[in-house]
Chain A
Amino acid sequence: MWKRFRSNMGAMIGVVMLIAVIVIALIAPLLFPDGPWQMVQRPFLAPFAVDGLPLGTDTLGRNVAAQLAYGAQVSLLVGLVSTLVALLIGVPLGALAGFYGGYADEGAMRFTEFFQTIPNFALAIVLVAIFEPTLFSITLAIAIVSWPPVARLVRAEVMSVRTREFVDAARLAGLSKPRILIQQVLPNTVSPIIVMASLMVATAILLESSLSFLGLGDPNAMSWGYMIGAARTVIRTSWWLSFFPGIAIVITVLALNLIGEGLNDAFNPHLSRKGKA
């Protein structure tokens, strides 16, 4: 599995890019001990105009490089945590629906459809607008809008695995139903879930950026979306203020997508588009 993943060029590039972003996020406090909000120079300094400010300064004279590094923290944190929460909601619900069928299935799926009928982004905006816009509420809002596809995927996988003969064998061994579900069925649905999760992190980062762009971000957290949003009025005079955070988003999302596809090919070698099995 790992061997197949490693032989996939795109996926390895994705891993390298993602690791770079993670490292930058982690060492941000060491690189920029003053934090992202500190005014360090004149506003609107272009990149490389002054030593020590390779990406210039923003409308208030803050260091863009520092903002980017701290923004990485927020983006990754929101992306990972919201995906985890979405999995925590989606996997159990989908598993129960798929395994028990009948009324459990009907109930869970109608509930899921209720969320699917509302456009993701609109629901996220409403949720954040209702709560205080904090990192916590934003993460929760993103999780709430992204779990339904997880539930549907897990349900479908569980439904197909539960008809396999080894599940019958486990029943004959006298194992209880919850134990069969957790011990026998769920481990066999892990690979598509991992693939989906890696892509969901990317979507979550985009959602968070969009929310911050609209000014619905946490006012106490520097994020890429907020940077672009704040710079949009001066986009013609100070291009770098929206360009660099934009690039950061593209790189991170691209890396996650590459990894997701690499995982998918590694888990399902027969479906790989590379041709050679």
Chain B
Amino acid sequence: MSETLTVERLTIGLPEGADRPFAVENVSLTINKGEILCVVGESGSGKSMTANALMGLLPQGVDVKSGRAMFEARDVLRLPEADKQALRGAQIAMIFQEPMTALNPLMRIGDQISEVFAAHGLYTQSERRKRALELVREVGLPDPEKIIRAYPFQLSGGQRQRAMIAMALALEPKLLIADEPTTALDVTTQAQILKLILDLRKRRGMAVMFITHDFGVVAEIADQVIVMREGKVVERGDAAAVLDNPQHEYTKRLLDAIPTGKFPEARQLSDTPALEIKNLRKTFRTGGGLFKPVREVHAVDDVSLTVARGEVLGLVGESGSGKSTLGRTAVRLVTPDGGHVMVGGVDLAALSEEELRQQRNKVQMVFQDPYASLNPRQRIMGALTDGPINRGVPKEKAQAKARELLEIVGLGADAAMRYPHEFSGGQRQRIGIARALAMEPELIIADEAVSALDVSIQAQVLDLLRDLREKLSLSILFITHDLRVAAQLCDRIAVMQKGRLVEIGRVEDIFLNPQQEYTRQLLAAVPGADWAEPEEVTA
């Protein structure tokens, strides 16, 4: 096979004062024609920097120190800017993680694709248009005639990513660099995009450099794999070999951290419910004016479920399924339109604002974004004691309790006097959990609590939650978009779609014997599904 790109001993320097001298150190890699190379690593591993260096898109202050990248017998790292520009798009194309920000919001899709031709001075106006249409058709966008006249905001996330891919393919590049192109997408959409990339590779014989943090995705599409950590390559090889027989300690850790199909042992659940949701409804109304009808979204549509004391119930669904609204309604951050939220014999949905403040402690929440969920100007101690002190717990007692909780979540009592910015994302999430526990709640709602974390950190936080569940017999409503994560922690799983509860059952039942079509679709879309759980499927 012929080599499309050969990178030799690439080293990229970081500006002074960064946490390490080199973003990428001595990285070598080869991509052959028609091959998909997955570059895997956690955040900060230098995987995106490598791609940016190839495209000449390094941020200011970061530059290539040594090494070369041979593409068509030329070193793309040393090319003058004008040549680089000619190369970008025409020979090497790139797609990004966030298709909304990568597309110009004020330009129609068709024009954006035509512009790629215009930038390289190709074809006439009408030919450009025709080719744009062909591309839109090739990437499988529905109703191509209409799509090329649409603006990016009128498209869904998956459609935007397809449009991006169409732009990238416009000039038939020999190399496609994809930087986490599916991370922002729902699982079912992700599965479609991955399939599209595989298809295109086959049809056009492109080489693809696919950057991801997800070994499931690797299992799905990779031929070759490179595992990076702190700027260095720690392992490389055939996808199958790396996945089945990892050599390096770090790769093993990453693979272990991935939720596999192994289910936690089924536990006996108690009969007393911690949370009872009955016929809950919440409708959002937007727009509406003199001549415009009101747009109604049934975010939660007549949902009933119970979480037993000491149980972890996973609430799974794609974006827009209403799972977060359900969680926020259960803590009454959102007031429902109808139904009951029974916690410890009190209907939270029916309380007045003032009564509610007295009952707030009963249900607590752990939030998704570890960076937004702590007040940057408040010490950890303050965050942990505000609530209890407000409830009338004496200050000394609340502070002692806060220190104890910080020990329990594995941070150490001296964390109390520090500010949030001194902690990493995973540590902040532990603080968030401690804050929820400080209120001595009957139920904790974890809204995508581990989604923003790297896999290995994710595994640690999940361990912590599992631990706490045993020790404190916590009841948790665990909201996530990731079925694999849910499988690791939960006793039962509830699947939501478009505001309705589709299916609810024990983890094994949902995974091995799903009753509903939608659940089956979700399961099939999980990347690496076949690789991760062969035993269970045949069992």
Contact = CB atoms under 8 A, between A and B. Distances in A.
Nearest to B377: A187
B373 A173 contact: no
Given A168-B333, A169-B367, A175 B387 contact: yes
A190 to B, nearest CB: 8
B375 A172 contact: no
Contacts, number: 70
5 contacts: A169-B373, A174-B391, A174-B439, A183-B378, A188-B377
A34 to B, nearest CB: 50
B386 interface: yes
Contacts of A176: 357
B376 A172 contact: no
A174 B357 contact: yes
Given A166-B372, A166-B374, A169-B435, A174 B365 contact: no
Contacts of B372: 164-166
Given A173-B390, A174-B387, A184 B360 contact: no
Given A174-B357, A174-B391, A184-B375, 17 more contacts: A164-B372, A168-B367, A169-B365, A169-B367, A170-B386, A172-B364, A172-B365, A173-B435, A173-B439, A174-B360, A174-B387, A174-B390, A175-B357, A183-B386, A187-B375, A188-B375, A276-B61
A171 interface: yes
Contact of B365 (A168, A175, A183, A184): A168
A126 interface: no
Nearest to A166: B375
B358 interface: yes
Contacts of A187: 375, 377-378
A172 B333 contact: yes
A174 B361 contact: yes
Interface in A175-202: 175-176, 183-184, 187-188
Interface in B195-236: none
A275 interface: yes
A173 B377 CA distance: 17
From A164, A165, A275, name the one whose CB has the most chain B CB atoms within 10 angstroms: A165
A276 B374 CA distance: 28
Chain B interface mostly: loop
Task: Name the residue in B15, B386, B435 with the highest tally of chain A Cβ atoms < 10 Å from its Cβ.
Answer: B386
Most buried by A among B358, B376, B377, B439: B377
B538 interface: no
A184 B386 CA distance: 11
Interface in A47-99: none
A256 B375 CA distance: 31
B375 A277 contact: no
Nearest to B391: A174
Contact of A165 (B15, B360, B373, B386): B373
Contacts of B369: 165
Nearest to B361: A174
B367 A165 contact: yes
A169 B436 CA distance: 9
B386 A173 contact: yes
B360 A172 contact: yes
Contacts of B331: 172
A139 to B, nearest CB: 31
Interface residues of B, number: 30
A184 B378 CA distance: 8
A184 B382 CA distance: 11
B159 interface: no
A125 B61 CA distance: 52
Contacts of B374: 166, 169
Contacts of B432: 169
Contacts of B375: 166, 170, 184, 187-188
Interface string A258-277: 00000000000000000111
Nearest to A164: B372
A188 B372 CA distance: 12
Contacts of A172: 331, 333, 360, 363-365, 387, 439
Nearest to A187: B377
Given A174-B390, A174-B391, A165 B376 contact: no
Interface string B487-506: 00000000000000000000
A178 B205 CA distance: 63
A164 B368 CA distance: 11
Contact of B368 (A165, A173, A174, A275): A165
Contacts of A276: 15, 60-61
A174 B378 contact: no
Interface in B286-341: 331, 333
Which A-B residue pairs are the 6 nearest by beta carbons? A173-B387, A174-B360, A165-B373, A165-B367, A187-B377, A166-B375
Interface in B376-414: 376-378, 383, 386-387, 390-391
A249 B384 CA distance: 50
B367 A175 contact: no
Interface in A222-277: 275-277
A219 B372 CA distance: 54
A123 B378 CA distance: 41
A92 B61 CA distance: 42
Nearest to A163: B372
Contacts of A183: 378, 386
A166 B360 contact: no
A277 B14 CA distance: 12
A175 B390 contact: yes
B61 A277 contact: yes
A276 B364 CA distance: 42
Nearest to B365: A172
Contacts of B439: 172-174
B60 A275 contact: yes
Contacts of A168: 333, 365, 367, 373
Nearest to B375: A166
Nearest to B364: A172
